Structure 1
Amino acid sequence: MHGDRGSVSAELVIATPLLLLMVLALVQFALWSHATHIAQAAASQGLATARAQNGTTAAGTSTAQQLLDQLASGPLTGSVVASERTADSASVRVSGTATSVLPFLSLPVHAEAAGPVERFVPDLEGG
């Protein structure tokens, strides 16, 4: 019995930091997931603007950046928006880094939305 003295304290010294690390890892994953959802929402919103009939890449980038400015001040840092539009399709890419809770951990965030450009096609049948 006397040989077991202090074993509970030693176990707590080892288990408490591991438990704290597991909780912080869970919080880090939640922040990364939230940042990814925000980036995807911004890319989708930018695409909706860029692919409109009279839309432009600048308008798509601006719309995505405005949404990021409103939503991403906490979970997403260093965000960059890039838009592209051709005669047939448009795409918006958002990238950045999730806010770090764990030291020395930097999780990248990428989201992309793409779709066809809206255009007016007249009815040729004259029905």
Structure 2
Amino acid sequence: MNALLRRLRDDRGSASTQLVLVVPVLLLLALLIVQFALVWHARHIAQYAAQRALATARTKGATATDGRAQARRSLAALSSRILTVPSVAVDRTTTQTTVRVGGTVMAVVPGLALHASGTASGPTERITAPAGDRS
């Protein structure tokens, strides 16, 4: 009985030591999971804004400025704090329109700066004559 009491006294504080070592690791793991979920969400926001801007910029009579304005409106509506410092680039030619939206993802883990981006591309709408014989 005396040996059992001595053994129980020797183990005192081991649960506290284990708790001090394990809890910070678990908290960091939880924060990393939240951080990467925010990156995933920010990518979807950037892709949505790029698709909306493409739909606007590729129409006949529209300009690259119209596409940029639409992307900014979409970002303002969806990503007030998730996608910070957003950038929008619209390249519109007579045959192809490309929109790139990117930004920095809100940081949950201090010191971790991650970026998210989305790209959409499609043909520019224009009036064409049917190909074939014109006799």
> TM-score category by the smaller chain?
over 0.9
Structure 1 outlier segments of 4+, above 3 Å: 122-125
Q: Superposition pairs for residues 34-113 of structure 1, below 5 Å?
A: 34-113=41-120
Give 1:122 shift. Answer: 4.2
TM-score by length of 2: 0.87
Q: Is structure 2 residue 16 aligned with structure 1 residue 9?
A: yes
Structure 2 unaligned segments of length 5 or more: list them: 1-6
C-alpha separation in 2, matches of 1:78 and 1:55: 26
Q: Is structure 2 residue 58 aligned with structure 1 residue 21?
A: no
C-alpha separation in 1, matches of 2:36 and 2:131: 54
Residues matched between the structures, number: 126
Structure 1 unaligned segments of length 5 or more: list them: none
Q: Which amino acid aligns with 2:97?
A: A
Give 1:95 shift. Answer: 1.1
Taking every aligned residue pair, what percent have the same amino acid on both sides?
45
- 2:39 is aligned to 32
TM-score by length of 1: 0.93
Secondary structure of the 2:120 match is strand
C-alpha separation in 2, matches of 1:115 and 1:23: 39
Q: Which amino acid aligns with 1:102?
A: V
When Rg is computed on C-alpha atoms for both structures, the one with the higher figure is: 2
